[in-house]
Structure 1
Amino acid sequence: MREYDKLVRDRIPEVIRENDETPVTHTVAGEAYRERLREKLVEEATEFRDDPSVAELGDVLDVVAAIREAEDIDREDLQRKRRAKRAARGGFEDGVVLDRVEE
């Protein structure tokens, strides 16, 4: 027996059954679902850090999309906010690392 207690993709129980194993699952909704998505985002971001592959980045984007939908965040509103922050503070293309701020 392996214990997980984590949000998984919708077809994972089916995949487990195809491997002649028995998944034990439950569903979450509302705030519990949103909290599980936030945990999943950290999990997937960590996996991408450890394996910076296109597949792992795709997993991160899938979780971000699910969060946007679960939080009822309009896609265009999100893009506007991203552009505004980028205009005010810049992006991440230059590789700037802040070492410290001296007074």
Structure 2
Amino acid sequence: MTSFTEHGHKAIRDRIPDILRDSGRDFAVKEISDPEFLLELERKLEEELAEYLESKEAEELADLLEVIYRIAELRGFSKEALESVRLKKRKESGGFEKNLILLNMADENRLCRGPPAASKEFPRVVFRPENSEVIEKYGVRMRIYTTRADSPNAAVLYQETESGHAEEFVHEKSDFLYYILEGSGTWIVEDREFEVRSGDVVVVPAGKRFWFRGNLKQICITAPAWDERYERHIRDIEL
């Protein structure tokens, strides 16, 4: 039995409303867009995996497959295409029948040598502008300081825009914290509008859809450090 997420809702199978109605239970459902439902399914994939790891039941494996097939469909892959990719990878790299694991040779060597001496390395402390990456994306110029390797708990970037961020998106793992250095604008979070100006701090929790408009200079901190795998495009915005 699956539980509700922290968002207070969950993706369900198509016949669940009929089953609930026949049982006389009160319930509410809402049909959402494909991009929104894709996000819910990818959350459910983690939930179903956790349930299988706890129960080890075939039913939970079947639930995983059902979610995977629908995710593939929403991303433009048919079951046949998915199976074709699986067979191609199997032909190139084999399956998992031999029960092989790849050993970390550094760990193996360390076990043979005994405990290592204390490391004298010190994490990087100063990140200079000339070593940052500068990109422009959806109307926002960004200077990205690649701090993740030294600070996985948070990352920082500087942003400038005359009009705003022309994309609504969501990040499933990181909170986004903005400090407004100059200018003013509007943040639209889950379709609610919030006016901001110089000196304000904006906090967008992980899992919330958002975009913003305005003439702004700002610092953005992501915690934990931003990881592209967990960011999802919702829609382009016409500013």
TM more than 0.5: yes
Quick check: 43-52 or 78-87, which moved more?
78-87
Alignment of 1:3-22 (within 5 A): 4=4, 5-22=9-26
The equivalent residue for 2:63 is 59
CA distance 1:90–1:12, shift in 2 (3 Å): same
TM-score, with normalisation over the residues of structure 1? 0.78
CA distance 1:8–1:94, shift in 2 (3 Å): same
CA distance 1:91–1:10, shift in 2 (3 Å): same
Ranges in structure 2 where 5+ consecutive residues have no aligned partner: 110-239
Say which SS state the counterpart of residue 8 (structure 1) adopts.
coil
Return the letter of the residue paired with 1:58. Answer: A
The equivalent residue for 1:96 is 100
Instruction: After superposition, give the CA deviation of every residue in 1:38-76 in whole Å (9 maximum; x if it has no partner).
Output: 112221122111122222211111111212222220333
Of Structure 1 and Structure 2, the greater strand share is in 2
Of Structure 1 and Structure 2, the greater helix share is in 1
Higher RCO structure (Cα 8 Å, ≥6 apart): 1
Whole-Å separation in 2 of the counterparts to 1:75 and 1:61: 10
TM-score, with normalisation over the residues of structure 2? 0.38
The equivalent residue for 2:185 is none
Larger Cα Rg: Structure 1 or Structure 2?
A: 2
Once the 2 structures are TM-superposed, how far is the Cα of residue 10 of structure 1 from its aligned partner?
Answer: 1.5
Whole-Å separation in 2 of the counterparts to 1:14 and 1:74: 27
